[in-house]
Amino acid sequence: MPSASDGAAGAVALLRAAAVRERCEIVFAAAEQGETPHFRLDLGRLGEVADRVAAVTRRRYPNLAVPPHSRWRHFSVGGIERAALVAADADKDERARARIDLAVVSVLLDAGTGQGWRYHEAETGQRWGRSEGLAVASLRAMQRGLFSADPTNPWRADAAALARITPEGLASAFQHGPGNEIVGLEGRARLLRRLGEVCAADPARFGAPARPGGLYDHWRAEGGVTAPEILATLLRALGPVWPARISWGGVSLGDCGRHRSVPGDGFVPFHKLSQWLAYSLIEPLEAGGVRVTRRDGLTGLAEYRNGGLFLDCGVIMARDPGLLSRPLDGASEPVVEWRALTVALLDRLAPEVRARLRKSATEFPLACMLEGGSWAAGREVAFDRRPDGRAPINVVSDGTLF
């Protein structure tokens, strides 16, 4: 009989990017053998998907100088480099801390908005919805000091200020009101309050006074960090921020599901939002002089734009077409299977896209394909197929998976 300590050790092993790739490959191997219960594969169509992704990439980045997929792309929507505003008058180290503060807060706020919500940016006159609107709104809220306990320094996110965030404060920052409602304000405020509490309880990582940007000093003191180590730190340090889901041996597994194809414990980790955050911390860390290596140690993101691309293009096909119209819980086995196949297929799509763009893996890593790329192609094909651009699978989620 496994002991509690065995369970804890097994759980910690799942809090790694390598575990995401390994477990998703198990599900993919079962699909190749026709043994997955919910979806089947038509890998003969992967070339068509690569053609589409390569074409979208060339259109969006004609010189093929594709930046990595991260939250920072949303901050520059509309051709405005808003990142240059963040702590512009501070020194290099403080700018890095402030940008990490912003990235962490903004990613936590990046849940679904509802169909009609838009953010009107007074400074530019632009209006944005969805993730772009949330990014701009969070940056402008930080600029006005919403997340800072120091009135003289708005460009920071202190644990003390985060712990006091209210739905009403976020409603004002996001321009929530009649005719422009945004869903989930209470849940977003709760995440930020928990972030403040978690940072305050861990001064070794987050400093004193505590803030997410303290991670910069933590990794700088270690002389550098790998991308998988960034993810592992985020999963261990920020795990208590997320709503409780599956736990094993007293350790919360976060964004993790179960699938019958995986022998033993059956767990399939994804850590989508945490990996999205890990990708988003690389740029501010490197701008501050912290070397980040092994970027391709992270995986593709198991989310509905990448997954929708493969479903809409027929690489993944539902065994029962009725499955696509039924509401599905985010932890249900069909959704776990779809997400696992997505991660494995992104690894196979990347070399196909590189070949079409005549780029090496070093020149065009996985994060560049996601940005170029697969995410944008998934959004485009979704709007081609459905007027509202929704995902091809109806996933009921609390906003902390997608």
Instruction: Please report which confidence band the pLDDT of residue 5 belongs to, taking 50, 70 and 90 as the band edges.
Output: low
**Residue-wise pLDDT tens digits, 205-241:** 999 999 999 999 999 999 999 999 999 999 999 988 8
Any domain includes 257: yes
String of DSSP letters for 190-234: HHHHHHHHHHHT-HHHHTTTT-TTHHHHHHHHTT-EEHHHHHHHH
Whether the model clears a pTM of 0.75, i.e. scores above it, the answer is yes
pLDDT at 346: 98
Q: How many independent structural domains does the chain possess? A: 1
Q: Distance between CA 162 and CA 154 in Å, rounded?
A: 13
Any domain includes 345: yes
Query: The domain containing residue 97 runs over which residues?
Result: 4-396
Is residue 293 scored above 90 in pLDDT?
yes
Q: Where are the alpha helices (DSSP H) in 201-332?
A: 203-206, 214-221, 227-238, 272-287, 304-312
251 three-class SS: strand
Any domain includes 104: yes
**Residue-wise pLDDT tens digits, 55-109:** 999 999 999 999 999 999 999 999 999 999 999 999 999 999 999 999 999 999 9
What average pLDDT does range 395-401 have in this prediction? 68
Any domain includes 401: no
Instruction: Please report which confidence band the pLDDT of residue 9 belongs to, taking 50, 70 and 90 as the band edges.
Output: confident
Any domain includes 180: yes
Measured in residues, the chain has a length of 402
pLDDT at 2: 41
Any domain includes 319: yes
